[in-house]
Structure 1
């Protein structure tokens, strides 16, 4: 895979096995190359026998990439041999199946971009008011939660999928850095039996000992006062030039604000949550107090 450097060139990077990053990088580079040559979308489209809207889709990462089309565009843009080879490799990777493809029938369309981003990210910051975030859940907690909304025949498969997601916290050599802020109400809301909740709280305590996991507990009611309508997740990628992703999970839907002002506003919201929540070093003590009541 390749990333875009500060000079606009591309360089190899490690792949994470999902097409989101290569597709995004290729889309951005194709647009930059076209604009640098002063070529309009219609003229670019004629080179591949397509339309201006097709060029727009390619430059937004919303279309598959035919190697022949990419090769024709690179010739039109006068790309040298080294970058041409890198971008053609990106085009091949951009057409790969996402890591969740085999379970696509149980993965709603609105969460798929986030699941791809989560696996490619270097940092995820998340706030949850009602439940323990998926990356921190135990099997039993996940099972009790999933059983509320999914057919019994799908429960175990969905639990296994959620546990597989969590491998990103243990991947080598660069595990995902996770910073989670939980409204204390999420830990007082019983999911499953008392033993399930005790095991879940102990699990969070164990995860807090990892250098790549930070958990803070926020006071009751902080969601409506600071975070608005519900969960908030921010994703930062290791590749230079890739914008942060904002993911707002809502009832049976997901929202992905992309305007820079919106992204900046949601970072401000999360930073406010961090400030108002108890410091991370107090988290084990808070959890121990909650654990004693179950």
Structure 2
């Protein structure tokens, strides 16, 4: 996943969402005769980060945009609105349609045989995963990935319900180090304790169930479900009824093979204590 500024000249604030955001921050800061140090203090970040955002070298977090809306008079939510466009361009073109659908979903069903999905990764786990690709924009990729997780805790509308099925091997595949795994498994167990969520683990009984590819389903308050298949070099969305029906059937089989949510929480706890004490 790479940060795409725009299809045109990214140095022009009128064409690049990221440059435009930074340019607006700089103009408002200068209008108020504020230094970057002063703005950083007001929005709880460092001077160097303010400078990088103003130059369009760093994708800002939502909290930075919210801070600008508080600090700059008459902003009226402008910086959060600009930020939404910035974060959209932080995803590659092929992934943007899925993210837009995910934001509207009332239920997200996911299966992964090897890794914790990005939607429920802790920052440390996500950073360790992203680092393996040796990107030169790691912080931007991490910001974009973690931003997707807001759908699980959003307050402006009901949070999306999570349905997650994982192979037991996912809990044992060490990403980063034991400390990272402890945090990730604890987070996974906490997610499963939220009443609207279901986290289920398929115990390793020595027999493979046959599903090797990560995939998921999105459901909406209106309209048909869609399926998403993760893969290399890119994933893809399936909307054809036959494809979606096949994905629904496969997911139902996986949930039937998995332990119950309560049994799965116990298994997570056992692995936490036994593998990452």
Query: Structure 2 length as normaliser, TM-score?
Result: 0.65
Name the residue aligned to 1:141. 125
Name the residue aligned to 2:254. 273
Distance 1:283 1:247, change over 3 A: same
Is contact 1:183-1:222 (8 Å) kept? no
Query: Structure 1 length as normaliser, TM-score?
Result: 0.61
Partner SS state of residue 261, structure 1? helix
Aligned residue-pair number: 194
Name the residue aligned to 2:268. 287
CA distance in structure 2 between the aligned counterparts of 1:174 and 1:123, rounded to whole angstroms: 10
Distance 1:183 1:166, change over 3 A: same
CA distance in structure 2 between the aligned counterparts of 1:273 and 1:184, rounded to whole angstroms: 13
State the Cα distance separating 1:99 from its structure 2 match.
7.8
Q: Are positions 1:259 and 2:240 aligned together?
A: yes
Is contact 2:91-2:144 (8 Å) kept? no
Name the residue aligned to 2:148. 165
Distance 1:278 1:141, change over 3 A: same
CA distance in structure 1 between the aligned counterparts of 2:134 and 2:186, rounded to whole angstroms: 26
Distance 1:222 1:164, change over 3 A: farther
Is contact 2:189-2:265 (8 Å) kept? yes
Residues 12-53 of structure 1 show CA distances to partners (whole Å, capped at 9, x for unaligned) of: xxxxxxxxxxxxxxxxxxxxxxxxxxxxxxxxxxxxxxxxxx
State the Cα distance separating 1:193 from its structure 2 match.
1.0
Q: What stretches of structure 1 move > 4 A for 4+ residues in a row? A: 97-100, 221-224
State the Cα distance separating 1:119 from its structure 2 match.
0.6
Name the residue aligned to 1:126. 110
Gaps of 5+ in 1: 1-96
Distance 1:279 1:243, change over 3 A: same
Gaps of 5+ in 2: 1-80
State the Cα distance separating 1:259 from its structure 2 match.
2.2
